[in-house]
């Protein structure tokens, strides 16, 4: 939806250095599009590296007018507040962006399209979190593709499945491999410009949309599919349609070092990693009906550890699970990529 | 939604003895409400037992006027055509029913509410297949209930999960057990008057709606949860939210005797029953995180066999799987019920 040559302004009012700004942070890290500025009056005039430690040259400005002066033609809501509603005080900013001729990218549950029905001159609103057109049904086409299909799975939500997939995708492309990344959440979709907003899709069609998205990557040799949720999280419905639609040949298990309970449900213990890996493989195989994927590696999120602690956590876990373990954000994605090449 | 004392007319135009009439047939078999007539001109004047072998005293009439004269105040679409669209030639019948003051029950994907916005005098339209209000999240409340929770699982779609659950529910009530049935498809929902239209729910909220529906049965000692789909069907997304929301203590595996491939996907073989039973239990347990249910019995659909063949199929399968097997439609539900009491 975001065309080549677009210039993005990322709206992060009061959230540049906050967890709810992870949509904007994801874009700054991985967007293939030019980001000309971040709009956040509280940090105006500052630099992105100084504010949040991401190496990006975008300016930080205070107004939509300044963004327009920098040539921005796409205004991206870079904040994901709890509940997914658009706060009232954002509307003057959105109104102004539209008045300045910008198109809008919105990854929240609230939709903007119906509120601005009369756009002209090629302006558009992309409400990412809504079911795409069509009522696709799985016909196991993914299983017949020659490409390797790598599904990111995890021990919890927010352990880094998208990040690991994007790092692997970036490394693969850097090595000249024909690689694709199938985004399944609003941040990944905004970064890639396409994908399946899985949590907004009706249950009946979930696996079908995934299969369609995977099959669209037919000219790739290596397809990374962004996972969602976890088989040990009680409110996680996405793993099954992801397994069925993607028919993965490889899994990479994503985990945060030292986490033994779900972050937002402390009553629930995370099972031993090998048990969860086996369950993922068993479920993917469907009792012998489908392809049985190999868990190729564990991607370990060590962001909260120092270098020495991280190295020890990686070595210890490698010992425990018997397959390669690494933190691709800290150490680069080469080691993990080698496990699925 | 259908109140006690309602009188139902079941619309089955040209579909009384057809597979697409299974919604109407389900109502005739299991509805707790009074069905005063079936509307089907092609069989008008005939009897339900003679037409489709279901023992029900409802008249078969040719017109909505006759249904109204019999006191019908709820008009139920008893046909589920492929694709779930409402054919144009049904509208004159629906218009007439509304003109006669009837309320409407519609289980198709097409919705009727928006087409009749100005109903009065307590008339209503129940479009079953739409997401209920709310954005529920699973908090594992079901797992703390003292009631036994029996989830029907299966080797395929349309092998009899709803029917087995309803037979078990009926038998339990007949024995004086406080039992509930949580419906999760449009036929079951129409029969019970409530439930979760799982295939029309957004993925994010699927398990949450199931948990809510199970928790609502708090005054029951035995809760049957209608299953959907199968872990060996590639286009089946429902099992995971059903496991997570229901936190079943028992599973009953439903299967059609002799079926070794999916009915509508002949390329896909059904795995050995014991493998599928183990996979269901493993997935429900989530690697040791949740309650591990026991597969208490296999419900075997033998409708296509004669008495001798059916008895042999049941005995052979019992030998194979090592747990009780029976066909509750043919032989009554007592044997299966005893396995979960």
The CATH number of the domain holding residue A73 is: 3.40.50.720
What average pLDDT does this structure show over A36-60? 96
3-state secondary structure string across A152-173: EEECCCCCCHHHHHHHHHHHHH
Give the mean model confidence (pLDDT) for residues A13-27: 91
| Integer CA distances (angstroms), B176 to A271, B191, B221, in order | 40, 20, 11
**What is the three-class DSSP state of A261?**
strand
Q: Decide if the complex's ipTM is over 0.90.
A: yes
- Do A116 and A83 share a structural domain? yes
Q: Which residues of A touch B279 (CB under 8 A)?
A: 282-283, 286-287
3-state secondary structure (DSSP) of residue A239: helix
Token pair, residue A325, equals: 């373990």
In contact, A225 and A151? CB cutoff 8 Å: yes
Contact B137 A235 (CB under 8 A): yes
Among B102, B127, B152, give the residue marking a domain's end: B127
Q: Are residues B151 and B259 in the same domain?
A: yes
Contacts of B202 in chain A (CB under 8 A): 131, 199-203
Does residue B177 share a domain with residue B316? yes
Q: Are A197 and A130 in contact (CB under 8 A)?
A: yes
Q: Model confidence over A51-71: pLDDT tens digits?
A: 999 999 999 999 999 999 999
Last residue of a domain, one of B127, B153, B186: B127
Distances in Å between the Cα of B220 and the Cα atoms of A170, A227, A309, B169, B182 are 54, 38, 52, 11, 11
From the list A243, A319, A331, the residue with the least C-alpha distance to A286 is A243
Q: Are residues B198 and B290 in the same domain?
A: yes
CA dist B112 → A260, B108, B109, B183, B193 (Å): 49, 9, 10, 22, 18
Which has the closest alpha carbon to B110: B74, B79, B64, B73?
A: B79
Token pair in block for residue B76? 């139920």
Chain-centroid distance of CA A81 in Å reads 17
> How is residue A127 written in tokens?
């409400």
Greatest distance between any 2 Cα atoms in chain B: 60
Q: Are residues B84 and B160 in the same domain?
A: no
Nearest CA in chain B to A241: B237
Categorize the per-residue pLDDT at B315 as very low, low, confident or very high, splitting at 50, 70 and 90. Answer: very high
| Residues of chain B that touch chain A, judged by Cβ-Cβ distance less than 8 Å | 131, 137-140, 198-204, 206-208, 231-232, 234-241, 244, 265, 267-272, 275-276, 278-279, 282-283, 286-290
Q: What is the pLDDT of residue A121?
A: 85
The structure tokens 């010992």 sit at: A319
Please check whether residue B247 is in contact with residue B233, taking contact to mean a CB–CB distance below 8 angstroms.
no
Q: Does A133 map to a domain?
A: no
CB burial readout A291-313, b (16+ within 10 A) else e: bebebbbbbbbbeebeeeebeeb
Tokens of A33: 């599009």
In the predicted model, what is the mean pLDDT of residues A19-31? 92
Query: What is the C-alpha to C-alpha distance for residues B38 and A220, in angstroms, rounded to an integer?
Result: 56
If asked whether residues B99 and B154 sit together in one domain, one would say: no
| Residue from B110, B237, B270 whose CB has the most chain A CBs within 10 Å, to mutate | B237
How many pairs of residues across A and B have Cβ atoms under 8 Å apart? 136
pLDDT category at B124 given cuts 50, 70, 90 is very high
| Residue B259, token pair as written in the block | 């079926």
* From A200, A232, A238, residue closest to B286, measured CB to CB: A232
Per-residue pLDDT, A81:
85
What does pTM read for this prediction?
0.94
pLDDT band at A82 (very low <50, low <70, confident <90, very high): confident
Query: Are residues B120 and B147 both part of a single domain?
Result: no
**First and final C-alpha spacing in chain A:** 30
Asked if residue B2 belongs to a domain, the reply is no
CA angle B172, B178, B179 (to 5 degrees): 55
Residue in A234, A227, A229 with CA at minimum distance from that of residue A250: A227
Residues A154 and A273 in one domain: yes
Q: How far is CA A314 from the centre of its chain?
A: 23
The bridge status of strand B7-11 relative to strand B34-39 is: parallel
CATH number at residue B217: 3.40.50.300
Question: Do B240 and A237 lie within an 8 Å CB cutoff?
Answer: yes
Residue A1 has pLDDT above 90, yes or no: no
Chain A positions in Cβ-Cβ contact with residue B289 (cut-off 8 Å):
232, 234, 268-271
Name the residue among B310, B309, B308, B282 with its Cα closest to residue B294.
B282
Residue B217 lies in a domain: yes
Query: Residue B134: inside a domain, yes or no?
Result: no
Distances from the Cα of A111 to the Cαs of A84, A116, A117, A321, in angstroms? 10, 10, 12, 44
Length of chain B: 341
Q: How high is the pLDDT of residue A109?
A: 85
What is the rounded distance in angstroms from the CA atom of residue B59 to the CA atom of residue B45? 7
Residue A306 shares a structural domain with residue A282: yes
Structure tokens, A81: 């507040």
CB B153 within 8 Å of CB B161: yes
Q: What confidence category does residue A255 fall into, taking pLDDT thresholds of 50, 70 and 90?
A: very high
Record: contact A272-B282, CB cut-off 8 A? no
CB pairs under 8 A, 24+ apart, for B110-113? B110/B84, B110/B85, B110/B86, B112/B86
| Token pair belonging to A45 | 């005039």
CB contact under 8 A, B270 and A289: yes
Kindly tell me if the per-residue pLDDT of B19 is higher than 90.
no
- Cα B276 versus chain centre, distance: 22
**Has residue A59 been placed in a domain?**
yes
B108 and B175 co-located in one domain: no
Which residues span the domain enclosing B101?
7-127
Q: Tell me if B104 sits within 8 A of B95, measured CB to CB.
A: no
- pLDDT for A300 equals 98
Structure tokens at B148: 């036994």
Domain count, chain A: 2
Quick one: pLDDT at residue A85?
Answer: 87
> What count of Cα atoms within 13 Å lies in the side-chain half-sphere of residue B338?
8
Cα distance from B171 to chain A (closest Cα, Å)? 31
pLDDT digits (tens, 9 = 90+) for B255-314: 999 999 999 999 999 999 999 999 999 999 999 999 999 999 999 999 999 999 999 999
Strands A74-77 and A103-106 come out as parallel
Helix pair B273-285, B239-246: axis angle to 10 deg = 50
Which of the four pLDDT bands, split at 50, 70 and 90, describes residue B186? very high
Average pLDDT, chain A: 96
Length of chain A: 341
CA distance B286 to B280: 10
Q: What is the pLDDT of residues A112-143, one digit of tens each?
A: 999 999 998 899 999 999 999 998 999 999 99
Measuring CA to CA, how many Å separate B271 from each of A188, B260, B262, B267?
36, 8, 10, 13
pLDDT computed for residue A18 by the predictor: 87
Look at residues B94, B127, B160 and tell me which one is the last residue of a structural domain.
B127
Compute the distance between CA of residue A49 and CA of residue A15 in angstroms, rounded to an integer.
15
A274 and A173 share a domain?
Answer: yes
Q: Which among B198, B269, B289 has the least Cβ separation from residue A203?
A: B198
One domain, residues B242 and B149: yes
B207, pLDDT greater than 80: yes
Asked if residue B57 belongs to a domain, the reply is yes
Flag whether B133 is in a domain: no
Mean pLDDT (whole number) for B178-197: 95
- C-beta atoms of B289 and A235 within 8 A: no
* Angle in degrees, 0-180, between the axes of helices B239-246 and B206-215, rounded to the nearest 10: 40
* B234, B242, B243, best to mutate vs chain A, most A CBs in 10 Å: B234
Q: Compute the mean pLDDT over every residue in chain B, rounded to the nearest whole number.
A: 96
Mutate to test the interface with A, among B204, B283, B290 (most CBs of A within 10 A): B204
The verdict on residue A136 lying in a domain is no
pLDDT at A279 over 90: yes
Question: To the nearest whole angstrom, how far is the Cα of A59 from the nearest Cα of chain B?
Answer: 36
Question: Inter-chain contact B279–A271, Cβ cutoff 8 Å?
Answer: no
Q: Which residue of B has its CA nearest to A138?
A: B235
Q: Is the pLDDT of residue A83 over 90?
A: no
pLDDT at B111: 94
């Amino acid at each position: 939806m975001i065309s080549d040559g677009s210039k993005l302004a990322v709206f992060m009012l009061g959230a540049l250095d906050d967890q709810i700004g992870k949509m904007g942070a994801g874009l700054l890290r991985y967007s293939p599009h030019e980001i000309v500025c971040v709009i956040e009056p509280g940090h105006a005039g500052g630099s992105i590296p100084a504010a949040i430690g991401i190496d990006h040259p975008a300016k930080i400005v205070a107004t939509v007018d300044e963004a327009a002066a920098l040539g921005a033609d796409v205004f991206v809501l870079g904040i994901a507040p709890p509940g997914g509603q658009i706060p009232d005080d954002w509307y003057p900013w959105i109104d102004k962006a539209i008045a300045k001729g910008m198109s809008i990218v919105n990854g929240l549950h609230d939709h903007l399209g119906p509120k601005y029905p009369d756009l002209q001159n090629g302006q558009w609103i992309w409400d990412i979190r809504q079911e795409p057109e069509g009522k696709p049904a799985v016909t196991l086409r993914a299983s017949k593709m020659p490409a390797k299909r790598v599904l990111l799975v995890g021990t919890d939500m927010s352990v880094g499945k998208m990040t690991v997939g994007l790092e692997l995708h970036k490394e693969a492309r850097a090595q000249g491999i024909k690689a694709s990344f199938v985004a399944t959440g609003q941040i990944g979709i905004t970064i890639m410009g396409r994908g399946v907003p899985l949590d907004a899709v009706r249950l009946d069609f979930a696996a079908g949309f995934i299969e369609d998205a995977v099959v669209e990557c037919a000219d790739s040799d290596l397809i990374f599919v962004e996972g969602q949720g976890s088989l040990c999280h009680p409110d996680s419905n996405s793993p099954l349609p992801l397994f069925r639609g993607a028919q993965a040949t490889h899994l990479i298990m994503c985990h945060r070092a030292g986490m033994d309970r779900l972050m937002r449900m402390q009553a629930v213990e995370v099972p031993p990693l090998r048990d969860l890996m086996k369950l993922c493989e068993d479920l993917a195989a469907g009792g012998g009906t489908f392809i049985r994927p190999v868990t190729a590696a564990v991607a370990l999120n060590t962001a909260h550890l120092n270098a020495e602690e991280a190295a020890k956590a990686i070595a210890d876990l490698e010992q425990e699970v018997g397959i390669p373990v690494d933190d691709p954000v800290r150490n680069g994605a080469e080691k993990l990529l080698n496990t699925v090449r």
